[in-house]
């Protein structure tokens, strides 16, 4: 493998508190009932709009009559708090450094909005670890569409057969399958091993250090 593309939330970084805090503050500002952090966890992975749609439904707006308002409020609040209590998972930073030492090109592909994706990556890992960082933005279909992986591979001048994709959710399993690249699921993120297995993950690892066996 010459390239490794990582999901962000639940794979590289534990961002649950930042997401849950921003959702709860959004609902509070909108005068809606609160949802739990565990509910928020289950809604993460499909992008900001999906997160807000499910959160509004859980808070009682089942017709999603206030989704546009919710997106505006959430976008503002999350932009200010996207690094709130965010930490890298244990062992991730060391594994990334080992990969770089071996000449592996590294990238991030997230359904989090692009601006906040870059903020989190640069705040937690600096600007020199990853060769490419891509969040959700206009013109590129979000995961599980493979367009994001294809664009990153083109930027890094790598083929699909040389790429390892790493993620923590059923969305990531489907993304890897759709892109035709080898996918490794991680058990330390926002979804359980059972969810990953049910989605079709053939390989699931329990620590970042295990990634080295693939590269």
What sign does the CA torsion over 177, 165, 182, 42 have? negative
- Rounded distance between C-alpha atoms, residue 145 and residue 140, angstroms: 9
**Is 7 a residue of the active site?**
yes
β strands within the chain, DSSP E: 3-6, 13-14, 87-88, 105-113, 132-136, 163-167, 182-186, 204-205
- Rounded distance between C-alpha atoms, residue 115 and residue 123, angstroms: 12
Q: At what angle do helices 67-81 and 48-58 cross, to 10 degrees?
A: 120
Residue 144: is the preceding peptide bond cis (ω within 30°)? yes
- Rounded distance between C-alpha atoms, residue 182 and residue 184, angstroms: 7
Structure tokens at 73: 């409020």
> Of the residues 7, 9, 14, 172, which is catalytic?
7
The answer to whether residues 9 and 135 touch, using CB atoms and an 8 Å cutoff, is no
The answer to whether residues 27 and 36 touch, using CB atoms and an 8 Å cutoff, is no
| Active-site annotation, residues | 7
């Amino acid at each position: 493998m010459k390239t490794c593309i990582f999901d962000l939330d639940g794979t590289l970084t534990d961002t649950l508190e930042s997401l849950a805090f921003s959702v709860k503050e959004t609902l509070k500002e909108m005068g809606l009932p609160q949802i739990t952090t565990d509910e928020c966890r289950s809604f993460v992975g499909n992008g900001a709009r999906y997160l807000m749609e499910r959160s509004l439904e859980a808070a009682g707006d089942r017709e999603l009559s206030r989704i546009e308002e919710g997106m505006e409020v959430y976008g503002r609040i999350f932009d200010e708090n996207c690094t709130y209590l965010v930490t890298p998972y244990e062992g991730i930073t060391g594994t990334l450094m080992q990969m770089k030492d071996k000449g592996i090109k590294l990238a991030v592909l997230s359904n989090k909005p692009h601006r906040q994706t870059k903020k989190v990556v640069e705040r937690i890992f600096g600007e020199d670890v990853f060769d490419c960082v891509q969040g959700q933005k206009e013109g590129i279909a979000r995961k599980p569409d493979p367009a994001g992986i294809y664009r990153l591979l083109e930027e890094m001048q790598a083929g699909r057969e040389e790429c390892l994709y790493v993620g923590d959710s059923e969305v990531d399993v489907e993304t890897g399958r759709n892109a035709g690249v080898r996918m490794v699921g991680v058990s330390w993120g926002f979804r359980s091993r059972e969810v990953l297995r049910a989605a079709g993950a053939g390989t699931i690892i329990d620590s970042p250090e295990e990634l080295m066996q693939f590269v």
